[in-house]
Structure 1
Amino acid sequence: MKKAQPVSPSPFTPLTVGPLTLRNRFIKAATNEGMAPGGIPSKQLVRFHESMAAGGVGMTTLAYCAVSPDGRTLPGQIVLNEETQPHLRVLTDAVHQHGAAASAQITHGGCFTFIRERATPRPLSASGGFNKVGLMSGMFRKQAMSDADMQQVADEFVRGARLARESGFDAVELHMGHGYLLSQFISPLYNKRRDQYGGSLDNRLRFPALVLRRVLDAVGKDLAVVCKYSITEGVRGGHKAEDGAAIARILEREGAHMLVLSAGMNVESITTMFGSSFPKENRVSTGNPLIATAMFLQRLTEPKVDFRELYLLEHARKVRAAVKLPLAYLGGVKSLQSIEQVRGEGFDAVALGRVLIAEPDYANKLAAGASRDSICTSCNRCVAMMYTPGGTSCVLGQPGNARLNAQPAAVT
């Protein structure tokens, strides 16, 4: 008798994350959208996330909400404050109308910033000294955070989380990866401190863990508190997947409700993040010479990497073996077969970025049996489309609506 094949758990069952229950296991991953001119969420941003909710995801994630003006990396990013709150409420109301949840990714860029007007003489980071990111913006030095700086930034994360709650969000995602401020503490590439915040992995996690605890204390009974981090930094001298598993154990111990498993660094190893190179023929005219220069340098220095499905799975398995809390797998999911494999290996949710930019209704198509494979070609051009007038979009479809992208969300 032929042995029956095991059936992978369905991605269409509900998932409990802290106080939140999602209708299914599909999460729109945070992808910088370029839809908040002047820092104000636009009608195009609302349309973008509403399309994800209408397309069937359990939760959609609003990318990069800075907890302070200094926390931005670029001028056109949302700052969580009273000015943006009514516009954010329009977005969450639109998402909720379609039965999905909304998550706000709250973060601080640290020394990874191109904002020159700031409250401190130099961009804050885990350690001071030379700032390689600042080579393109003229901010050649960074400033090591003091205990007072850490308490202030932790306070800003708490205020941001509370404002997210008041704006109708169901979850907040603390960004601890990709080379932003909390990642700069975790990473041995950036953290050269010799006090209680440097050295061992436990010490390097001390400040990010403080932020997590403070946010949990403030909103954890009402909102899911999620952490996104880089399992591996993908660069010599950075942490590896074994360290990524240890980081997960620390975040689980501190009470995180779920982890989103990413990888790579914005400056040193962007191909690790996206699983493939940004080839020359995929250039998009950004209209911003600073960004164009950065993209050119990345193409010049990054190795050629060909895309493969589930490119982070071997690293993510180490995390799954190390912890029991819910995990969202992110990295190269492009087909029903991949989704079934990820679910079968014990990952609780599937986070999708480029696939949903290409097909916002991909989850609905899978549920109806109308599709198996995504149309996404992993060309990465949607990343550069963020800098176009209409914001992020897939080059296989229509560009974002530049007119709607110029209109504040809450203005009728």
Structure 2
Amino acid sequence: MTSSAFTPVRIGPLTLRNRFIKSATNEGMAKHGVPSKLLVEHHRSMAAGGAAMTTVAYCAVEADGRTFEDQVTLDDASIPHLRVLTDAVHREGGAACAQITHGGAFTFLPQLRNTKYPLSASGGFNAAGVISGRLFKTAMTPADLDRIAGEFVAGARRARAAGFDAVEIHMGHGYLLSQFISPKYNRRRDEYGGAAAQRARYPAQVLRRVLDAVGKELAVSCKICVTEGFKGGATADDAVEVAKVLEREGAHLLVLSGGMNVESPWAIFGSNMPAAAVETIQNPVVKFATRLMRIWEPKIAFHEMYFLEHSRKVRAAVKLPLAYLGGAKSLAGVQQAMDEGFDCVVMGRALIHDPDLVNKFRDGRASVSGCTACNECVVSMYTPGGTRCVLRPENDVRLNQTPAAA
């Protein structure tokens, strides 16, 4: 019997050939900020392997919105390189999505261009900046709110010009829009602070402006946390309220993730980072930060569908399309998500391990991914060859040093 995961689905103006989406997982394939030929090949292989849509991770909407220097900024210079990528994905029959985001207080850039301290929902001490030496952050003013929302719009328009079929507005994992949603970061006393629905007000305004700009041509999704995964963080009940706000604003799809980069990175992956993997990180700041995280992280073992309990609450509360993310690695797990009313399944590590996995599921050549959830792929993004599965051959470093449009 053919799984319903292989049937088409409509997301806003976009029809996907099946329900499988490659998640945005930082690739480490834009050295000096320039999309590389290896980034093109990475996403082309996901489309060739059967995924309906592949998501290019962390496309910053302005230079100060990057977390690291080696990340894509959605500026005019990036468009020719990204057009090579989207053309390659389209030739394989897939759709391409650009994840548009801003890091806010979570940044390791050596210098900011527009502000002395990084922007966030609230000002004061910046816990995310302890390692990088940025001990303070700046609360966004009304002018800042308007300007950054405008940058999201400009980024979405450039994504359209580069041939993308969709944009994913990142509202999770501790980046800027997540800093508004999170009760840990948002201490505002104006209309953008308070209860969960009020904390979602600014992200919803960004969504509205992006929809007004590109929503008739591109699918517009939002990535949110169904749990932030630490005491005092946002819960599944908060996620329900956030989802309701975004549904009313007209989001075409919500991608349900979880965990925070600083407070609970283990929650993002549903398992711990191995010590051996940490030592492979070449960036000294990131290596030190990751070592510190390992000191306080709880010991957790991976299990499939680890966000399902939280995501069910959101599914029960809203009617718009939802994409389940969190440890799906078997055809049975994918079908469970379908049976419980989720419209798509988003996969990361399983497709990094084997980009052809969706085709193998479809053809009966596999029913379970060979991914071991070792998480060594997570830190491989900091290596010269970028993100890869350590159970597979190494990436071609030369391709990662060559601009996509060269």
**What's the TM-score once normalised by structure 1's chain length?**
0.97
Supply the AA of the counterpart residue of 2:305. Answer: L
Corresponding residue number in structure 2 for 1:36: 30
Corresponding residue number in structure 1 for 2:259: 264
Corresponding residue number in structure 2 for 1:19: 13
Corresponding residue number in structure 1 for 2:285: 290
Cα offset, 1:356, TM superposition? 0.2
CA distance in 1: counterparts of 2:305 and 2:81, whole angstroms:
36
Aligned residue for 1:84, secondary structure, equals: helix
Identify the range of structure 1 (348-357 vs 272-281) with the bigger mean alpha-carbon deviation.
Answer: 272-281
Identify the range of structure 1 (138-147 vs 276-285) with the bigger mean alpha-carbon deviation.
Answer: 276-285
**Superposed, which structure 2 residues align to 1:253-402 within 5 Å?**
253-402=248-397
Identify the range of structure 1 (350-359 vs 298-307) with the bigger mean alpha-carbon deviation.
Answer: 298-307
CA distance in 2: counterparts of 1:209 and 1:97, whole angstroms:
34
Supply the AA of the counterpart residue of 2:109. Answer: I
1:48 corresponds to 2:75: no
Aligned residue for 2:10, secondary structure, equals: strand
Corresponding residue number in structure 2 for 1:66: 60
CA distance in 1: counterparts of 2:195 and 2:290, whole angstroms:
33
1:241 corresponds to 2:236: yes
CA distance in 2: counterparts of 1:18 and 1:8, whole angstroms:
25
Cα offset, 1:404, TM superposition? 0.3
Supply the AA of the counterpart residue of 2:379. Answer: A
Aligned residue for 1:328, secondary structure, equals: strand
Cα offset, 1:340, TM superposition? 1.1
Cα offset, 1:244, TM superposition? 0.9
**Superposed, which structure 2 residues align to 1:140-155 within 5 Å?**
140-155=135-150
Aligned residue for 1:104, secondary structure, equals: strand
Task: State the Cα deviation string for residues 305-325 of structure 1 (Å, max 9, x = none).
Answer: 100011100001001100111
1:82 corresponds to 2:64: no
Aligned residue for 1:112, secondary structure, equals: coil
CA distance in 1: counterparts of 2:128 and 2:340, whole angstroms:
38
Task: State the Cα deviation string for residues 148-181 of structure 1 (Å, max 9, x = none).
Answer: 0000000000000000000000000000000000
Corresponding residue number in structure 1 for 2:202: 207
CA distance in 2: counterparts of 1:300 and 1:315, whole angstroms:
26
1:198 corresponds to 2:193: yes
CA distance in 2: counterparts of 1:8 and 1:131, whole angstroms:
50
CA distance in 2: counterparts of 1:348 and 1:287, whole angstroms:
39
Cα offset, 1:133, TM superposition? 1.4
CA distance in 2: counterparts of 1:45 and 1:195, whole angstroms:
42
CA distance in 2: counterparts of 1:222 and 1:380, whole angstroms:
36
Cα offset, 1:282, TM superposition? 3.3
CA distance in 1: counterparts of 2:402 and 2:313, whole angstroms:
45
Corresponding residue number in structure 2 for 1:408: 403
CA distance in 2: counterparts of 1:201 and 1:312, whole angstroms:
20
Supply the AA of the counterpart residue of 1:122. Answer: Y
**Superposed, which structure 2 residues align to 1:111-150 within 5 Å?**
111-118=105-112, 119-150=114-145
Q: Does the Cα contact within 8 Å between 1:8 and 1:344 map onto a contact in 2?
A: no
Structure 1 residue ranges (4+ consecutive) displaced by more than 6 angstroms after TM superposition: none
CA distance in 2: counterparts of 1:294 and 1:181, whole angstroms:
20
Corresponding residue number in structure 2 for 1:4: none
Unaligned runs of 5+ in 1: 1-6
Cα offset, 1:284, TM superposition? 4.4
Task: State the Cα deviation string for residues 354-405 of structure 1 (Å, max 9, x = none).
Answer: 0000000000001111000101000000000000111000000012211100
Supply the AA of the counterpart residue of 1:81. Answer: D
Aligned residue for 1:83, secondary structure, equals: helix
Cα offset, 1:9, TM superposition? 5.4
Q: Does the Cα contact within 8 Å between 1:9 and 1:344 map onto a contact in 2?
A: no
Task: State the Cα deviation string for residues 280-308 of structure 1 (Å, max 9, x = none).
Answer: 23334222110110111111111111000
Aligned residue for 1:292, secondary structure, equals: helix
CA distance in 1: counterparts of 2:125 and 2:367, whole angstroms:
48
Cα RMSD after superposing both structures: 1.0
Cα offset, 1:279, TM superposition? 2.4
Q: Does the Cα contact within 8 Å between 2:253 and 2:321 map onto a contact in 1?
A: yes
CA distance in 2: counterparts of 1:246 and 1:196, whole angstroms:
16
**What's the TM-score once normalised by structure 2's chain length?**
0.98
Unaligned runs of 5+ in 2: none
Aligned residue for 2:230, secondary structure, equals: coil
